[in-house]
Amino acid sequence: MTSGTPQVREIPLTGGTSGPYGITTGPDGALWLTFVHSGRIGRLTTDGALTTYALDPADCQPMIITPGPDQALWFTRAHDHRIGRITTGGTVDTYAPPDGSGPYGITAGPDGALWFTQMHTDRIGRIGLDGTVTQFGLPVEKAFPSMISTGPDGALWFTLNQANAVGRMTIEGEVTVHPLPTPAAGPVGIASDGEALWFVEIMAGQVGRISVDGVVEEFPLPDRAARPHAIAAVAAGDCWFTEWGANRIGHLTADGRIEEFDLPSPSSEPHGLALGPDGALWTALETGAVARWETTT
């Protein structure tokens, strides 16, 4: 995927109070979304057909969703402190970690399990496909671990939003914390491009890159108040990210250029984004829609 002005199409999904939030591509060639305010999981085909599945309770706040190694989708439920699993046919199961941990980010790990952040307890959790949960403590307090991604080195990488750092954890639970150069940057989204990890700093208005040996580079956005939230790496050095506070998506090219593109509707609150099965970029808009970006390839 290379630089170019993307063609955007906004697709209304539900009422404005439903809150599309997380989005990912499923193993069935569809997009899967969380609806944070209405407690539903959605399946969206690339031609815009939506099916939703209700969760119990409706205020469980599903947040981030990711494909698992078992051909199902796994997601976090921040309000009732659970991990959810949904098959491509719509069958839902839930699993409860031992305490009120506030799970948020989740990713498929290199070991055949799912790994998730626990915002409230300064831990990283591991859940096996049988529902067994193991928790690993972090060496920092009130760090607010947020998003998590499997890195190219076979470790788990995650943002520590309130500790101003990026963390690395081996599958055995060994932790390394890498402080960020910019104070109070507030890192949130993180993604691997196959060579390094890319993350966004919501408070500093920057995109960051961290190598597997912990070297950090930061790229200031033209609008430092844009509040970047989620990031997706589509190739080495080629990243797209949402600008939640500026109603835009941004693109960081492999040669270090930053491009920004406005969303069609004002104040649409872009959150998650994912490369779709059709090669387009899809963005979840909390006001009740998705945006599909046809980028040049």
Question: What are the E-state strand segments in 50-131?
Answer: 50-54, 62-67, 73-77, 82-86, 92-95, 103-108, 114-118, 123-127
229 assigned to a ligand binding site? yes
- Asked about 81 being catalytic, the answer comes back as no
**Among all chains, which residue has been given the structure tokens 């998506």?**
249
Q: What angle do CA 275, 199, 290 make, to 5 degrees?
A: 35
DSSP assignment letter at 69: T
Q: How many CB atoms lie within 10 A of CB 194?
A: 10
The one catalytic residue in 37, 81, 251, 271 is 271
Which of 181, 296, 161, 155 shows the shortest CA–CA distance to 228? Answer: 161
269 assigned to a ligand binding site? yes
Is 94 strand, coil or helix?
Answer: strand
**What are the Cα distances from residue 218, in Å, to 71, 151, 176, 194?**
36, 18, 20, 18
Which amino acids are annotated as binding site for Mg(2+), given as ranges?
A: 269, 286
Residues marked as catalytic = 271
Which amino acids are annotated as binding site, given as ranges?
A: 229, 269, 286
